[in-house]
């Protein structure tokens, strides 16, 4: 690995109704997948600031709480660039989730998460995320980004 790029990923939960807000990605990386909201850091920004900003830009809501729940490191076959994605769990927000140029938001029941249309690593770490268990994950993908070739997922007490 020669280079590491930092990203945020925010997942908003309605814990009372056991629902999660996902967005259908309409452009760029992860096109046509359901995903959390997030992206790259802007110059001078902290990771947490970027997490709040991306949620607001992509889902049009303002998080009230935001807990860091995990860090995933993604590498790809024949690619020297690794992605370090800081994952946040949010259970309270202001505003109304609204479609933007980048994302179409939709609520899914915990029992009906569309893993077949998500990044393939998601089904691996979502069980820890949903129950609020902090974790560190490493996932090595095939070149076509469709399969996880190697994985390591561990529970931690402080991420």
Contact 104, 23 (CB under 8 A): yes
**74: contact with ligand 6U4 by CB under 6 A:** yes
107 within 8 A of 61, measured Cβ to Cβ: no
Q: Which is nearer to ligand 6U4, 9 or 128 (CB)?
A: 9
CB of 118 closer than 8 Å to CB of 34: yes
Stretch of residues binding Na ion (CB under 5 A), selected from 38-46, 108-116, 118-126, 145-153: 38-46
| 134 near ligand 6U4 (CB under 6 A) | no
* 7 binding partner (options ligand 6U4, Na ion, none; Cβ < 5 to 8 Å by kind): ligand 6U4
Q: Where are the alpha helices (DSSP H) in the chain?
A: 47-59, 122-130
Q: Are 10 and 37 in contact (CB under 8 A)?
A: yes
Applying CB under 5 A, among 23, 36, 39, 137 the residue interacting with Na ion is 39
Q: Taking CB within 5 to 8 Å according to partner kind, which of Na ion, ligand 6U4, none is near residue 83?
A: ligand 6U4
State the Cα–Cα distance between residues 156 and 93, nearest whole angstrom.
26
Residue 91 or 145 with smaller CB distance to ligand 6U4: 145
Is residue 77 within 8 Å of residue 143, measured between CB atoms?
A: yes
Q: Which of 4, 18, 40, 154 binds ligand 6U4 (CB under 6 A)?
A: 40
- Distance separating alpha carbons of residues 134 and 69, to the nearest angstrom: 5
Nearest to 110 by CA among 35, 13, 37: 13
By the rule CB under 6 A, 5 interacts with ligand 6U4: no
Which residues form the interface with ligand 6U4 (CB under 6 A)?
7-9, 28-30, 35, 38-40, 74, 83, 85, 119, 121-122
List interacting residues with Na ion (CB under 5 A).
39
């Amino acid at each position: 690995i020669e280079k590491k790029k930092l990203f945020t990923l925010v997942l908003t939960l309605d814990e009372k109704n056991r629902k999660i807000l996902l967005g259908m990605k309409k452009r760029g990386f992860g096109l046509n997948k359901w995903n959390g909201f997030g992206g790259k850091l802007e110059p001078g920004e902290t990771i947490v600031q970027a997490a709040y900003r991306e949620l607001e830009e992509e889902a049009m809501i303002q998080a009230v709480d935001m807990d860091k729940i995990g860090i995933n490191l993604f590498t790809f076959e024949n690619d020297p660039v690794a992605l370090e994605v800081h994952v946040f769990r949010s259970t309270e927000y202001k505003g109304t989730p609204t479609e933007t140029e980048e994302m179409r938001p939709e609520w899914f029941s915990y029992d009906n998460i569309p893993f077949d249309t998500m990044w393939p690593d998601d089904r691996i770490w979502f069980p820890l995320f949903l129950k609020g268990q902090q974790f560190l994950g490493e996932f090595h993908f095939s070149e076509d980004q469709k399969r996880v070739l190697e994985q390591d997922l561990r529970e931690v007490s402080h991420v």
